[in-house]
Amino acid sequence: MSEVITETTQKGILGWIERTGNRLPDPVFIFFYLIGILMVVSVLMSIFGVSAEHPVQKNADGTPLIIKSMSLLSAENIQKLWVQMPKTFTHFHPLGYVLVVMLGAGVAERSGFFAAGMRAAVRSTPVFLLTPVVALVAMLGNHAADAGYVVLIPLAGILFAAAGRHPLAGIAAAFAGVSGGFSANLLPGQLDALLFGITEEAVDISGLDPSWVMNIAGNWYFIAAMTLLYLPLIWFVTDKIIEPRLGKWSPGDGELAAQFEDKDDELTAGEKKGLKLAGLAALGVVGLWLLMTFGPGTALINEEACAPGTIEAGTCSVQKTLTPFYTSLVGGFMVLFLACGWIYGKAAGTIKNKQDLVDMMTGAMKDMGYYLVLSFAAAHFVAMFGWSNLGLISAVHGADAIQSTGLPLPIVIGMIIIFSALLNLFIGSASAKWALLAPILVPMLMLLGFSPEASTAAYRVGDSATNIITPLMVYFPLILIFAKRWQKGFGLGSLTALMIPYSVCLLISGIALMVIWVILGIPLGPDVSVAYSLPGT
């Protein structure tokens, strides 16, 4: 397999992308190298006295507050680095959010709940609806992390072949949904917790709005719209472009027969029972959260935000009223995944006792080991960016430069999406890229009247669209293996060419959706708007 990949990557732009990307170090070391560069730049900016006027804060006498660049080699910042190192790491917002959600998601994945749910969703689908159902389950399967790639994509090839259709079309449709539609979903999940945690960190270090709090549902309406938009696009590209190009498929060697034998199994009685009980458990968790929100005591409502007198005074805020509810959704998804996975596992026989449950949660935390290391490096890069003041200074000057060009904000957003998509060809990790971009993009767009939630949404469009055409995506070789089992000689260039129509359509439609969203000012989530005003302005 490695020989095939090496041979096919020596030609053309795709070969250049892979060779260039393979020369890049691990994202952990990228952050450490960037910290070194940041130190040098901070010293130079401090020497040259680079500064900016703070857009919100004033001095005690009312004069403008000047933000000065600070050297990271100053005694104060060196002390911060070493004294606050544990705090810098453990207070990195995405860390806690992701670990909490993954405690539940790890059980749902290891118990087999996610895999069984996806199998059940696609196996009984009529042939004419096979493509849209595979694409929809693939996008919803983003919550299942690895299961979407490992279970659904090869299963889609099996189902298409069993229906007399080309299996590579099924693999392509599933890959486009799982990876190209990586940010699309009908419900928020661990990706929302991860990205909004980084967004919150970027807002914090900018100091522009200390009252802003991460809302895991901040992109809910937008990602649901992405799902509804991407579904017919993937359906059209698969049935009208990809499958006709592939031509008529006929079974070949014995490996394909073995593939059918390996996967052509029905759900067991225990798995079917587990899925039914897991559905009831999900309803129970939703009911519990509704009770805590609207029941006696309204535990998840901040009633003081709209206490008597605040409406007349104009200080009543629906968003502040619902802040406890929004913040609780991180724990809510953990409980939801945990309950569904546990109930399913008990019925299906994958969880026999409490120790099995603990082992699954422990295994989920073990899988997060790399993320912990990456978070340590990213947390210090983001924190040191804030200590140097270069993030806010860059944001202020960047906002001024954009305003001076006279470019409409929707065009600026489109350019940011394209930049994110191009960067994704070289750095596959969604969190790593956002940790690099957020400290500048989030405050810069806030100064231009663009909310942090909207910045996050724009980044997500670009980040997912090119996942399916870069050889540096970690699952790309795995998808290639799945495809080669159906068609000998299918190489890296073949897979990339297969996925390019999806990537182009998803990127163009995603940009159009974001631009329309900005122009119309449609809420991105519950009580979350595209427009933003700095406090006191």
pLDDT in tens, 488-515: 777 777 888 889 999 999 999 999 999 9
CA distance 484 to 494: 10
Percent of the chain with pLDDT over 90: 39
Residue 349 neighbours by CB distance under 10 Å: 13
**Which range among 133-137, 199-203, 247-251, 450-454 shows the weakest confidence by mean pLDDT?**
247-251
Maximum mean pLDDT: which of 64-73, 121-130, 418-427, 491-500: 64-73
318 or 453, which is more confident? 453
370-381 pLDDT, tens digit each: 889 888 988 898
CA distance 175 to 481: 13
337-374 pLDDT, tens digit each: 999 999 999 999 999 999 999 999 999 898 888 889 88
Query: For position 479, what pLDDT does the model report?
Result: 85
Query: For position 191, what pLDDT does the model report?
Result: 86
In the predicted model, is pLDDT for residue 459 greater than 90?
Answer: yes
CA distance 185 to 220: 8
297 or 519, which is more confident? 519
Among 73, 23, 21, 30, which Cα is nearest to 373's? 30
Query: For position 317, what pLDDT does the model report?
Result: 60
CA distance 304 to 45: 45
8-state DSSP, 450:
B
CB contact set of 264 (below 8 Å; sequence gap of 6+): 158, 162
Maximum mean pLDDT: which of 4-8, 121-125, 146-150, 284-288: 284-288
212-226 pLDDT, tens digit each: 888 888 999 999 999
272-305 pLDDT, tens digit each: 999 999 999 999 999 999 999 887 777 888 777 6
Model confidence, pTM: 0.77
What CA–CA distances, in Å, run from 532 to 207, 208, 453, 523?
15, 12, 10, 12
Percent of the chain with pLDDT over 70: 88
List the structure tokens of 421.
Answer: 């998509």
Query: For position 273, what pLDDT does the model report?
Result: 95
Q: Which residue type is seen at 119?
A: R
**Are residues 171 and 479 in contact, defined by beta-carbon separation less than 8 angstroms?**
yes
In this prediction, residue 311 has a pLDDT band, given cuts at 50, 70 and 90, of low
In this prediction, residue 2 has a pLDDT band, given cuts at 50, 70 and 90, of very low
In this prediction, residue 417 has a pLDDT band, given cuts at 50, 70 and 90, of very high
Query: For position 261, what pLDDT does the model report?
Result: 42
68: which strand partners?
51
Query: For position 307, what pLDDT does the model report?
Result: 67
8-state DSSP, 11:
S
Q: What is the mean pLDDT of residues 86-104?
A: 87
